[in-house]
């Protein structure tokens, strides 16, 4: 059983969003406390709040699209894939996979597996494979998985 997910998934899903939104909260609190101190006559305008609010909204939607939907752990069991997310787990046979989309150039890299039928984790399961220090290279395990899924689909027909 081989693990196909990145070790950075926990950081990307849990730690980085806390750091992002925490920084924005501390930034706003820090500026307002210094602006309303007794010896400061300059008061922040409403325009000041536009940038942190924009960063929070923009960050949330980007993270929702690229990070929050990632599956925590994916294991290759040969003819099956085991998906674990929170306390739920789903075992998917390679024959039940309709399509695989792999983008290695994004941050984080993403693999989206489209299934023929709905599972408790959804019909599209997305995870982040381990990255590479060498630019423009694809993950060999994912390439091998795509080939095996293709063979499983061809043998089924």
Higher per-residue confidence, 134 vs 98: 98
**For the segment 124-150, what is each residue's pLDDT rounded down to a tens digit?**
999 999 887 777 788 899 999 999 999
Residues of the domain holding 33: 1-157
Tell me which H or E stretch contains 30.
helix 16-35
Higher per-residue confidence, 75 vs 1: 75
The number of folded domains in the chain is 1
If we measure between CA atoms, which residue out of 57, 71, 151 comes closest to residue 110?
71
The domain that holds 67 is classified in CATH as 2.30.29.30
Does position 78 have pLDDT exceeding 70, yes or no?
yes
Tokens matching residue 45: 């305008």
**For the segment 13-25, what is each residue's pLDDT rounded down to a tens digit?**
999 999 999 999 9
**For the segment 58-67, what is each residue's pLDDT rounded down to a tens digit?**
999 999 999 9
What is the torsional sign of CA 152, 155, 156, 157?
A: positive
């Amino acid at each position: 059983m081989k693990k196909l997910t990145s070790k950075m998934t926990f950081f990307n899903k849990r730690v980085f969003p806390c750091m992002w939104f925490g920084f924005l909260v501390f930034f706003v609190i820090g500026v307002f406390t210094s602006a309303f101190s007794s010896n400061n006559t300059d008061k922040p305008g409403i325009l000041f709040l536009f940038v942190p609010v924009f960063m929070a909204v923009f960050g949330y939607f980007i993270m929702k699209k690229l990070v929050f939907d990632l599956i925590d752990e994916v294991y290759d069991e040969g003819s099956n894939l085991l998906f674990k997310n929170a306390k739920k787990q789903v075992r998917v046979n390679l024959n039940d996979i309709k399509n695989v989309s792999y983008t290695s150039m994004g941050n984080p890299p993403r693999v989206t597996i489209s299934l023929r039928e709905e599972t408790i984790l959804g019909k599209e399961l997305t995870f982040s494979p381990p990255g590479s220090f060498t630019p423009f290279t694809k993950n060999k395990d994912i390439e091998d998985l795509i080939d095996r899924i293709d063979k499983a689909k061809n043998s089924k027909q």
